[in-house]
Chain A
Amino acid sequence: MKWKGNNSSRASLQQWHRRVGMTGAVFFIFLITTGLLLNHTGALGLDKRFVETPWLLDLYHISVPEQAEAFSAGEHFVSRLGDRLYLNTKELPERTERLIGGLQLGDTLLIAIPGKLLVVSPTGDLIERIDSADGVPAGMKRIGLTASGQLVIRAAHGDYLANLEKLDWRKTTTADVDWATSLLLPPELEEKLTQAYRGSGLPLERVILDLHSGRIVGQWGVYVVDGAALLFLALVITGLWMWMKQRV
């Protein structure tokens, strides 16, 4: 049985349905693709993969918060950018708002942050965290070495000679301490650090989510995606309508 409605209105509806379908096809493929990706974020590791494209980072205003705070530790540089710690350009698995000091201690590197000492290998592997639970003096202000290479910590209640092997902290009044002093990073290293910092601030998942919702181009992008969704709904309704009318 054929649709008994007006031939002209039927033809118009079919034509409209066809045109909207063709026009919207790109949007629909785009939404389906981003939707499928988001459905498998974990398996694809989208939350652990980061965007490094400069213009995209600029779009999200991912910028370096301030100049790096840095110390030299032997042949290496320990620095902080934002709340991230780096040994040269390698990010360390510790976040901090302040870097107290860094130096070379024997064949390892020592980094002081509030409440903790980090023992790090020259390749940037975190060997050990030593914190208040291990007796690190409260209120660390500076770290340094005596002429004989012993570690000294200036803390809230005085200076301490630190023996990290025995986790022993003894008050000292020695004046002969070469204190770790902050410095400016070489420009090349600062540039690499900036790239490393920016390149770990925007997960791919965030970008795909914003593409899917249209938010990547602001509120108007959201309206466009809403419009595409409503058009898709209209296609479904008109398609079902035409099918039902054909069956009657």
Chain B
Amino acid sequence: MPFSRASTFLALATIALSPHSAAEGIYQTPEDFLREAFAGAPPEPSKLWIDEKLKPSIRAILDHDLDVLRLRYWGKDGRTAWILDEIGKERPITTGIVVDRGTIERIKVLVFRESRGWEVRYPFFTDQFTGATLVTGQQLDRDIDGISGATLSVRALTKLARLALFLHAHSDFADGKK
């Protein structure tokens, strides 16, 4: 018992005292994320055009427009995977999100470029999104607990989760189409 308490303390201390070693890192390449999401055989990418019908909802989710007209995603058997960026405080956070039939299956921070807020990459935070769906107003069906000192990163990931769910619903793999 004392040993497991000590090891937990050491783990937490390492996390708390190593902000710079944990920040600005590539935690997983998008290629590996996709391979993992699709059991080693990711499908060919599909394209989703961001037309005028989608723009208002995207703007409501992100508080800004996407500056591209087309997004890539990977889909198979009702599941889609998205590699999306959103700025936390000043730099983009690259995030991989898998949506399975309208619910979030997993969300993973792939690249974190800022010096603080990196705690959002840990499962204790990202696991909150598992099973999340969209309800009225393109909001998540649950509250996401924030992290002190990482408000902007939390906000960015929450936006991306909502965006992925929204985009999935307009993809070729929504509602069992493929």
Contact = CB atoms under 8 A, between A and B. Distances in A.
A134 B67 contact: no
A127 interface: yes
B21 to A, nearest CB: 22
B83 A133 contact: yes
B45 interface: yes
Contacts of A128: 68-72
A129 interface: yes
Given A134-B30, A135-B31, A127 B94 contact: no
A145 to B, nearest CB: 22
B44 interface: yes
Nearest to A119: B70
A133 B94 contact: yes
Nearest to A94: B67
Q: Which of B69, B71, B94 has the most C-beta atoms of chain A within 10 angstroms of its own C-beta? A: B69
Contacts of A130: 72
B83 A166 contact: no
Given A133-B30, A133-B94, A166-B44, A126 B67 contact: yes
A93 B68 CA distance: 9
A125 interface: yes
Interface in B53-107: 67-72, 83, 94
Contacts of B72: 128, 130, 134, 167
Nearest to B66: A126
Contacts, number: 32
B67 A93 contact: yes
A62 B167 CA distance: 42
Contacts of B110: 133
Interface string B22-40: 0000000111000000000
B45 A167 contact: yes
B19 to A, nearest CB: 25
B83 to A, nearest CB: 5
A130 B67 CA distance: 13
Contacts of B30: 133-134
A127 B31 contact: no
A125 B68 CA distance: 8
Contact of A127 (B44, B45, B69): B69
Contacts of B44: 166-167
Contacts of B31: 135
Contacts of B29: 133
Interface in A99-152: 119, 121, 125-130, 133-135
Contacts of A129: 68
Contacts of A121: 69
Contacts of B69: 121, 125-128
26 contacts: A93-B67, A119-B70, A125-B69, A126-B67, A126-B68, A126-B69, A127-B68, A127-B69, A127-B70, A128-B68, A128-B69, A128-B70, A128-B71, A128-B72, A129-B68, A133-B94, A134-B30, A134-B45, A134-B72, A134-B83, A135-B31, A166-B44, A166-B45, A167-B44, A167-B45, A167-B72
The 3 closest A-B pairs by CB, nearest first: A133-B30, A93-B67, A128-B70
